[in-house]
Amino acid sequence: MIRKLLVATSLASLCLVSNAMAQETINMWVRTGIGTAFTSLADAYNASHENQIALTEVPFAELVQKYATAIAGGQAPDALSLDLIYTPAFAAAGQLQDLTEWAKGLEYFDSLSPSHVALGTYEDKVYGLPLLVETSVLAWNKGLYEQAGLDPEKAPANWDEVEANAEAIRALGGDNYGFYFSGGSCGGCMIFTFTPLVWASGVDILSEDGQTATLDTPQMRAAVDKYRSMVEKDLVPEGSATDNGVNFLSFTNGKIGHQSLGAFAIGTLVNDYPDIDFGVTLIPGIEGGTSSFAGGDNIVVTKDTPRLAAVQEFIEFAYSPEGQKILAQNGSLPTRSDIAAQTLEGLDPRLQVAVDAIGVAKTPYTLLFNDLINSANGPWATFTNAAIYGDDVDGAFATAQSEMQSIIDNAP
Amino acid sequence: MSMTIATPLAAAEKPRRRARKNRQWQGLLYIAPAIILVTIFFVIPVLFTVWMSFHNWPLLGQPSWIGLDNYIRMFSDTRFAAALSFTAYYTVIATIAIFALAFPLALFVQNERRGVSVYRTIFFLPVVVGLATASLLWVWLANVDSGLFSPILRAFGVTGRSANLLATFNNAFPTIIVMVVWKIVGFTMIILLTGLQSIPSDLIEAARIDGASRWQRFRFLTLPLMRRTLALALILSVTGSVLAFDQFYIMTSGGPQNRMISVVYYIFNQSFVSFQLGYGSALSIVLLGILVALSVVQLWLLRVGDDK
């Protein structure tokens, strides 16, 4: 519908504008359900610019196949909004436009979301730039805190406090549970919400160059133990064990004490669930500190597109104070830290926590993200389920560690 | 043979031969649409898959010729071995379960009597639901919070607290088997029913008069005469099980802990998750070979070619 509207508006403006020859229409693909943050930005751009942008929504699972086919058939879009974790794989395949010179010429280049830029960079060249930014944070339900006799304004500072408070909330009985996570082999959910526990302590599941699996660390074991303990104490709903991400927003049912969520969920909670009084804080590390996962989308440009200048104009609009404001109003965090305060002025103050998370956030850099992390049958997804819900924790560590390494070693 | 006799004979033979030749061409014409369809939608894709299997064929980027490497790689691929062994296990259990129920059901609805068509309809009804739809339905039925099974099991004291039926292999596998039996048994029952109904009733009658017991009539008349039907039902059931994918993908995403990855699921993962279309093609060709071999063995075991 949105696409049709956009195409219609683009066509209408094409006819109206007298110097139609100079005007260009950028054809851009986005994943289905990209949300109003981006579509509002595109609408605002079309309303204020001679060049126009037409969006085509492509189902997330088919995006890579369709893009590959389109390239082969010479029908590729000018630009693509791509989950940032896939940028390295696309850049490596040699299909993306090198944006290095222009990007580094932007005066605010250094204040763009560092994780996005890092993932958009392949062999020292910039192929992708931040478009939508979100981070993971820990939310707690203030209403349940009050019912359980806890201080609703005091955020849990570490995982022992989370567990103790979760027990108090579970003690309320009924369907009230202390904690929730999507534990049914949802690799994406768990890398987003669970790895910050170990990142905060300075360890990671992959070495910096992405060539060695470093899953089995004392910190990861401690993090697994903490989740196991909460499961064993019945603080987590039974459905978590098979939740492949469908119920990722379980917190919105108002009966979950704590859950690590994305910044977009803050927007959803504020707009759609005004009855739930909640607080957000940075995700504590298992041994202290805080961390977060920086997720979202990069914008990438198809190699040798004739409309490069128009795409660059659109990106600059997205980074303008006006563009940043439109994105933030719709739940996407500011991509520019230098004007973040100005961007967030007058918006829900809890968004600020998600913005602060950008400073401590990480994103694993690997060409094998799908194989290693995201796939429901990949080693990471399987590991999180087996280690937290299975009977053999040591076995889960050993299997995942060796399978990750074998996937890395056998990569073409 | 002398020429004087041969010539008139040959003269009479000629138009007959021409007519036969004509008929043969006609026959070919009749099956031409089928041949064209099979060529376009089966033969060419299979040949292309064979061609792809000799390449490193990424989804993005250029394919490169690697000869037999994809096939050699399979021998050391432990995940493929695990998928094969799980598929074999599933095929045996599912086929036994389906036949164990379908045969009695077919006998039950064989004879015309009051309400029999209602029973046939009830047993056949799940067949018309797509497997993916049925799987989704069962995901809901087995859901621990909002499903139907969990409260029933708790009410009967089978489980203490609400049980998440899809969380462990020991619960999830039987759940999927029950779903598949519910979904497929009506189809197998109908095939067996047509076999039962094609047995001439006078044969059974004659055996009865000769004093054959109910078991003897079943063992020495019904079963042997059902051989072709049984072979058809068995091959369809085994082929379906070996190609199983939807139920594992939808109900457990191959879990818990990857213990339910069938061969087709593994091919899907290699091709569209790891984007290794070449290896996926090689695995598909091997699976095709396995299916052909399995079907030949089943036909041979049931000696379908022998009965004249």
Q: How far apart are CA B29 and CA B156, in angstroms?
A: 64
Q: Which residues of chain A carry a pLDDT beneath 50? A: 11, 14-21
pLDDT of amino acid A101? 94
Secondary structure (3-state) at B18: helix
Q: How far apart are CA A140 and CA A132, in angstroms?
A: 25
Average pLDDT score over residue span B253-273: 89
- Tokens for A396, please give them: 């889960």
Q: Contacts of residue A382 in chain B, CB cutoff 8 Å?
A: 255, 257-258
pLDDT of amino acid A252? 92
Whether B171 has its CB under 8 Å from any CB of chain A: the answer is no
Considering only CB atoms, B273 lies closest to which of A237, A375, A412, namely: A375
Average pLDDT score over residue span B174-182: 95
Contact assignment for A65 to B269 by CB distance below 8 Å: no
pLDDT of amino acid B305? 60
Amino acid at A74: G
Local confidence band at B62 (pLDDT 50, 70, 90 cut-offs): confident
Local confidence band at B154 (pLDDT 50, 70, 90 cut-offs): confident
Contact status, residue A292 vs residue A283, Cβ threshold 8 Å: yes
Residue B231 pLDDT more than 50? yes
pLDDT of amino acid B70? 94
Contact assignment for A185 to B58 by CB distance below 8 Å: no
CA distance A108 to chain B (A): 33
Q: How far apart are CA B81 and CA B87, in angstroms?
A: 10
Whether B58 has its CB under 8 Å from any CB of chain A: the answer is yes
Residue B92 pLDDT more than 70? yes
Greatest CA separation for chain B? 98
Q: Contacts of residue B166 in chain A, CB cutoff 8 Å?
A: 242
Q: Contacts of residue B163 in chain A, CB cutoff 8 Å?
A: 238
- Terminal-to-terminal C-alpha distance of chain A: 40
pLDDT of amino acid A21? 47
Q: B306 vs A330, which has greater pLDDT?
A: A330
Cβ partners under 8 Å of residue B272, min gap 6? A65, B59, B280
Amino acid at B94: A
Considering only CB atoms, B145 lies closest to which of A68, A184, A239, namely: A239
Nearest to B222 by CA among B207, B235, B236, B237: B207
pLDDT of amino acid A50? 94
CA distance B29 to chain A (A): 37
Contact assignment for B143 to A239 by CB distance below 8 Å: yes
Residue B264 pLDDT more than 60? yes
- Tokens for A405, please give them: 């390494």
Local confidence band at B276 (pLDDT 50, 70, 90 cut-offs): confident
pLDDT tens-place string over residues B102-132? 999 998 888 888 888 899 999 999 999 999 9
Q: How far apart are CA A412 and CA B52, in angstroms?
A: 16
| DSSP state for residue B77 in the 8-state scheme | -
Secondary structure (3-state) at B255: coil
pLDDT of amino acid B11? 57
Contact assignment for B164 to A93 by CB distance below 8 Å: no
Q: What is each CA distance from A231 to A81, A167, A235, A412, in whole angstroms?
A: 37, 11, 6, 39
Polymer length of chain A: 412
Contact assignment for A238 to B255 by CB distance below 8 Å: no
Return the residue of B nearest to A186 by Cα. B253
Q: Which of residues 61-90 of B touch A (CB under 8 A)?
A: 61
> In terms of DSSP bridges, do strands A290-301 and A283-284 run parallel, antiparallel, or are they unpaired?
antiparallel
Q: How far apart are CA A227 and CA A13, in angstroms?
A: 55
Q: Contacts of residue B258 in chain A, CB cutoff 8 Å?
A: 377, 382
Q: Which of residues 192-221 of B touch A (CB under 8 A)?
A: none
Rg (CA), chain B: 26
Residue B283 pLDDT more than 60? yes
Note the ipTM here.
0.74
pLDDT of amino acid A5? 53
CB atoms within 10 A of CB A358: 22
Counting residues of chain B whose pLDDT is more than 90, the rounded percentage is 54
Best of A238, A377, A397 to substitute, by most chain B Cβ atoms within 10 angstroms, is: A377
Q: What are phi and psi of A140, to 5 degrees?
A: -130, 150
Whether B110 has its CB under 8 Å from any CB of chain A: the answer is no
Q: Which residues of B285-301 are buried (b: 16+ CB within 10 A; e: fewer)?
A: bbbeeeeeebbeebbee
DSSP alpha helix (H) spans, A93-204: 100-105, 114-120, 142-147, 159-170, 187-193, 196-199
Whether B155 has its CB under 8 Å from any CB of chain A: the answer is no
Q: How far apart are CA A55 and CA A40, in angstroms?
A: 11
Query: DSSP string of A200-221?
Result: TTT--SB-TTS-SB----HHHH
pLDDT of amino acid B35? 95
Cβ partners under 8 Å of residue A296, min gap 6? A83, A84, A113, A116, A130, A131, A132, A133, A134, A332, A333
Whether A176 has its CB under 8 Å from any CB of chain B: the answer is no
Polymer length of chain B: 308
User: HSE on the CB side for A348, CA within 13 Å?
Assistant: 24
Q: How far apart are CA A302 and CA A307, in angstroms?
A: 10
Contact assignment for A242 to B61 by CB distance below 8 Å: no
Contact assignment for B257 to A93 by CB distance below 8 Å: no
pLDDT of amino acid B60? 72
Secondary structure (3-state) at A63: helix
Q: What are phi and psi of A298, to 5 degrees?
A: -100, 155
> In terms of DSSP bridges, do strands A125-126 and A79-83 run parallel, antiparallel, or are they unpaired?
unpaired
Contact assignment for A238 to B61 by CB distance below 8 Å: no
